[in-house]
Amino acid sequence: MNSKALSNDTEVVLLLCGRFGGERQEIFQPLSNREYGEFAKWLNSRGLRPADLMSPSAHEHLLNVHEAKLELKRIEFLLGRGTALALALERWSRGGLWVISRGDIEFPKRLKHHLKHVAPPLLYGAGNKELLNIGGLAIVGSRDAMGAALDFTRKIAAMCAHEGIGVVSGGARGVDVTAMQGATDAGGYTIGVLANDLLKAGVSRQNRIGLKEGRLVLVSPFYPEAGFNAGNAMARNKYIYALSEYALVIDSALGSGGTWAGAMENLAHKWVPLYVRNPGNGLGNAALIEKGGIKFELSQSDSVKLVDFFDATSLEVTNVAESNSSHSLLPSMDMSMKDSRSEINASMNTEEPSPKERECLPIQKVGDQTPLSAESYHESAPHSISRPMGPFDMYDDFLGKLHHVLALGALTDQEVAERLGLELGQAKAWLKKAVGAKCVEKLYNPVRYQYLGSFQTNP
């Protein structure tokens, strides 16, 4: 990887925020996440993007940078670190790493939605970048978990894999590694959010198969060569939650430790619904439930699917909120989660579609710009059929439904057929037609299909 492999914006953000080794001896330090957030807002207010800082008029653009509470000398010093950047990119390239910034199309939308301008300016990673937007279940727990807790973790991760639910975890020993390996071994998709040693993890034997097959992505907002740092480990928690749709605490200590801190932070910010294994070995499990966590009592012996369990418990909590005016944190948390997920879905496509894209969109009433959630889509689908459907109508209906089942990630033709209740042959035929119309993109290794769309991003 060299600077040509980066977007122009990302190259500038790397110069401003990246660490390449040896920064402690330099007179100016890279921008922190919060500093860059303020700087990005300042750029936006002036109609600028990071790449504009490499133009001949860059100095003129930066004359009023004090408005962002930053020194001109500091910004110009950081922008002059081109040699250090080139050497770092060469090292990272040998380890198979890539770098994206907040303005890149691949940057995970959930992260930007939940964290706003405190989202990390940069993400370093290895593996399939497309997995960053699959959502799924965050599985977190103690580094010292043993026995039954790890067995439970492994089973839940396998259930996620079999149901097509992504697994998000932190890569630490104990619950994190068990969850990631359990999902990957079962053929599922995994996001590992690392606090340290990304460069080493990208070439380690245990991650090799998942990375090669495109079922694993390792990502970190921190310097890829950084060793363990307790502060980074704590800060990493928010990214695990913000990349997921639901979270499950396997075991937590009471009042201390990374698992407890991360769960409490999620409850405070209401990023995603927090499920807590009940009963759990950790003393903190019961306390987290008291503070608003949802009891997770599903076992592998139950015939209920995880997706159905999440939907049922969310509905149950909502019904309690409507019929009971108690001051429990749980109902209010659930309602805010539903609003949050709707906002994320709405933010996935904010651009006016091109004429070609319009051919691939489900028919909506004029002025209706709100995407259907999975729940509302299934509820409304039976009522949308008002007349016998011919071959073209059926294909158009297929495209509309396909838009929703592929909204959060690519699927195989078999998975599409199962989710839409079609014969495999019919699903293959319509998918082939959709690929030809450039409504759907066919991916390889393994063969999957993803919906095509476009959106505009901010730096």
User: pLDDT by residue (tens digit) across 240-254?
Assistant: 999 999 999 999 999
What whole-number distance in Å separates Cα of residue 151 and Cα of residue 35?
A: 43
For residue range 403-431, what is the model confidence (pLDDT) as tens digits?
778 877 888 888 888 888 787 778 888 88
Quick check: 355 pLDDT over 50?
A: no
- In the chain, what percentage of residues exceed pLDDT 90? 52
Per-residue confidence (pLDDT) for residue 352, from 0 to 100 = 40
Domain residue limits, the chain = 8-88, 124-301, 396-451
Quickly name the fold that domain 124-301 has: Rossmann fold (3.40.50)
Specify burial of residue 230 (Cβ count, 10 A radius: 0-12, 13-18, 19+).
exposed
pLDDT band with cut points at 50, 70 and 90 for residue 293: very high
Closest listed residue to residue 160, CA positions, set 128, 191, 183, 181: 183
Query: Strand pairing partners for 190?
Result: 167, 216
Which residues, including other chains, have CB under 8 Å from residue 433's CB and lie 6 or more apart?
Answer: 395
Maximum pairwise Cα distance, the chain: 74
Beta bridge partners of 450: 441
Bond preceding residue 382 cis, omega within 30 of 0: no
**pLDDT score at 315:** 57
The model's pLDDT over 7-37, given as tens digits with 9 standing for 90+, comes to 999 999 999 999 998 777 788 999 999 999 9
Which range, 339-343, 389-393, 421-425, is most confident? 421-425
Contact 53, 12 (CB under 8 A): yes
Place of tokens 């998709």: 189
Q: Does domain 396-451 have CATH number 2.60.40.3080?
A: no
Sign, CA dihedral 417-421-422-427, equals: negative
Query: What are 37-67's pLDDT values in tens digits?
Result: 999 999 999 999 999 999 998 889 899 999 9
What letter does residue 359 receive in the DSSP assignment?
T
Phi, psi of 446 (to 5 degrees): -85, 170
Paired sense of beta strands 122-127 and 98-101, if any = antiparallel
